[in-house]
Structure 1
Amino acid sequence: MISLYELSRIMRPDDANIVGNVHGGTILKMIEEAGCIIGTRHCNTQRGTCFSGSDVDNDRCLAALARVEHTDFLYPMFIGEVAHVSAEITYTSKHSVEVQVNVLSENIVTGAKKLTNKATLWYVPLSLQNVAKIIEVPPIEYSSPEREEAGKKRYEAQKLERLETKERNGEVITHVSLPEPYTVGFSQSSLIHLVCPSDCTLHGFVHGGVTMKLMDEVAGIVAARHCKTNIVTASVDAINFHRKIKKGCVITVSGRMTFTSNKSIEIEVFVDADPLVEAEKGKYRAATAFFTYISLDVDNKPLPVPPLKVEGEEEQKRFEEGKARYLQNKAKRLADKEQQQ
């Protein structure tokens, strides 16, 4: 049974921004590729007889990304370094797979390695014969009952949060004409992308990693417009994939600032899909997430972030919600640090 997968790739100029920091979206794309591979391999093991007893010999599947948990970017990665991505299946429910991924950067000159990212992703296996059909997941063996119970708690928590995020799906970002500097309207940005075959899985739906890369690019533009400095991804809150995006759709990726602390910026990103061929189905919200960026000087040291000018009750409400997430994540980092000591 497949439980571990590793991939490595050297970082090239196309992977980085103008000062040599590797794009957060590039790293997210590699994380998702590793997760998709191990998830698909695992879900296609033991395909002879389904666990409910039915014959599924020919019912192969592909693991589709459903959710990415909060992801921290612990250290920047640079051109010329090697990214080592390792993915491990840590929990399975009847119809979903939890994959935990670690990313190490290696300086091939000095041999020094650093842990740059830890991520948790959830996949559901979709039949290659019928994309609407979710395949049953082969179980894994746990090293202890405690690990299985902890995985079950994570599964229940993410399931509940996914349901809660659907309430935000109707919201639309509206553009403001001639906004003042440091306001939400001044920095908000959108990107339009036609989904091509190279963006898609065997099902003809967009790879989750492609979507995440576009989301990071838009969030990066928003952060750069606000700060006018070099900016890098610091963390990504849960990315929820609400609906699949089909080949031939036009997707609009929109980002707006929600909160600033002294040294960080939170940006909310929406992905809307518009089917060109099946236009009668209408535009729909496909994915949502919060990205956090920090501003760096020429020596890659953190810089103070210009405060966000909040206008109106809605922006004030989003600011307060962002502040709550910031404080919650800060407390979690401190707790994790104390636990490791």
Structure 2
Amino acid sequence: MWAPQLHEGLSPLQLCRIMRPDDANIMGNVHGGIILKMIEEAGCIVSTRHCNTQDGDRCLALLVRVEKTEFLSPVFIGEVVHISAEITYTSKHSLEVQVIVMAENILTGGKKLANKAALWYVPCSLQNVNKIMEVPSIQYVSAEQKEEGRKRYEAQKTERMETKARIEEVLPPLPNPEPHTVGFSQSSLIHLVGPLDCTLHDYVHGGVTMKLMDEVAGIVAARHCNTNIVTASVDAINFHRKIKKGCVVTVTGRLTFVSNRSMEIEVLVDAASLVEKEMKKYRAVSAFFTFISLDKDNKPLPVPPLKIEGEEEQRRSEEGNARYLQAKAKRVADKDRQQ
């Protein structure tokens, strides 16, 4: 991760918090959704602060995308999580924030890299949420760094459009599904968006949505394995449309692909208003979560194979396998570069 010279008067944001029992599962592993929520909060603060250094309407930065995120080390109850968020690229109407998460054992003083993520925000006027504000530019250390940022911007913009075009319905599972089928572990969570979930615009925080998504994905993984499970990574999370206060969100997770040691779970968030009858249900967010199964010593366990039923499940499994092989090849390439 590189460090540009930011807009005058701004500096990277630092947050920290001790992990409590209600942040973790019964085995003491902190939920991935808690970490994602903290990452998004840091990104929102640093983005909003930067965008309000200019004259004109006051604005609030809203999350539109989270790039693929790896959970590099587990975090446990009692550890202190340190979040560092920094703006690394700005376009006319959006900005990229890169975040590093360190976990500290306060008894030994030892620290470990737990997570790193890249998020994209757009600033929206407080007077009119549909008005996207211009973003103050940052100063870059070199032209090469600015060009690399531009390439990342163009890539995420293209991928967001492609993902939006692939929206499909989620069908309920058949009655009495067999164990280790997609229908057996498929799960849904229904949540009414209240004031505590929302920004100053009365739209739900991106971090709140990601936490719900991680919870549902965790239920799917646990039902498939019947063991302790943890979040290993999250593929790009795309926020297609905003979710307003008073909406009912349905968060659905379903297995798409299983390797020997991991499970890919597609998580889809649909929203509908309780009071605005003309607002029909719509797809708000989508992502793929990867979970692994652990024994009592936090060592990876083999994952039961997924029983595929029908052409659609076969197609999704093949696409998941392609993503798995691509991620595996990238990890090998990254490891070779570091040696």
Matching of residue 104 in structure 1 with residue 68 in structure 2? no
2:34 corresponds, among 5, 16, 26, to 26
User: What is the one-letter code of the residue matched to 2:208?
Assistant: V
Q: What is the aligned partner in structure 1 of residue 252 from structure 2?
A: 254
CA deviation after TM superposition for structure 1 residue 3, in Å: 4.0
* Residues in 1 aligned to 2:190 and 2:173: alpha-carbon distance in whole angstroms: 15
d(CA) in 1 for partners of 2:329, 2:45: 33
| Deviation at residue 336 of structure 1 after TM alignment | 1.7
Amino acid at match of 1:32: E
1:140 alignment partner, SS class: coil
Match of 2:230 among 229, 232, 236: 232
Q: How does 1:268-283 map to 2 (within 5 A)?
A: 268-283=266-281
Counterpart residue number, 1:203: 201
* Identical residues among aligned pairs (%): 76
Alignment of 1:31-180 (within 5 A): 31-45=39-53, 47-48=54-55, 56=56, 59-180=57-178
Match of 1:325 in 2: 323
Would you say the 8 A contact 1:191–1:252 is kept in 2?
yes
Using the alignment, how far apart are the partners of 2:276 and 2:167 within structure 1?
21
Q: Secondary structure of the residue that 2:278 maps to in structure 1?
A: helix
Q: Secondary structure at the match of 1:87?
A: strand
Report the CA distance shift for 1:173/1:72 in structure 2 as closer, same or farther (over 3 A). farther
Q: CA deviation at 1:174?
A: 2.4
- Equivalent position of 2:3 in the other structure: none
Kindly indicate whether the alpha-carbon contact (under 8 Å) linking 1:3 and 1:42 is maintained by their aligned counterparts in 2.
no
Partner-residue secondary structure (3-state), 2:92: coil
One-letter code aligned to 2:311: E
Q: 1:10 aligns with which of 18, 40, 57?
A: 18
CA positional deviation for 1:142: 0.5
Give the 3-state SS of the residue equivalent to 2:17 in structure 1. Answer: strand
Matched AA of 1:16 = A
Three-state SS of the structure 2 residue aligned to 1:134 is coil
> Partner of 1:188 in structure 2?
186
What is the CA-CA distance between 1:339 and the residue it aligns to?
Answer: 2.0
Are 1:256 and 1:268, in contact at CA under 8 Å, matched by a contact in 2?
A: yes
Task: Name segments (4+ residues, structure 1) moved above 3 Å.
Answer: none
The AA in structure 2 aligned to 1:37 is I
Tell me the CA shift for residue 201 of structure 1.
Answer: 0.2
Matched-pair contact (CA < 8 Å) for 2:173–2:184:
no
Alpha-carbon separation, structure 2, partners of 1:265 and 1:211: 21
Q: Tell me if the contact between 1:60 and 1:127 (Cα under 8 Å) persists in the aligned partners.
A: yes
Task: Tell whether 2:321 aligns with 1:335.
Answer: no
> Aligned partners of 1:91 and 1:223: how far apart in 2?
35
Deviations 1:308-338 (A, max 9, x none): 0001110000000000000111111122222
Separation in 1 of the partners of 2:241 and 2:161? 13
Q: Distance in 1 between matches of 2:323 and 2:298?
A: 25
TM-score (norm 2): 0.97
Deviation at 1:157, TM superposition (A): 0.3
- Aligned alpha-carbon RMSD (Å): 0.7
Q: Post-superposition shift, 1:340?
A: 2.3
Structure 1 letter corresponding to 2:75? M
Q: Secondary structure at the match of 2:266?
A: strand
> What is the alpha-carbon distance in structure 2 between the residues aligned to residue 169 and residue 33 of structure 1?
27
Deviation at 1:170, TM superposition (A): 3.5
1:173–1:254 CA contact under 8 A, matched in 2: no
Q: Give 2:243's aligned residue.
A: 245
**2:69–2:233 contact (8 Å) kept in structure 1:** yes
Structure 1: distance between partners of 2:174 and 2:251: 17
Task: Tell me, yes or no, if the aligned pair for 1:269 and 1:289 is still in contact at 8 Å.
Answer: yes
Measure how far apart 1:279 and its partner are. Answer: 1.8
Runs of 5+ consecutive residues of structure 1 not aligned to the other structure: 49-55
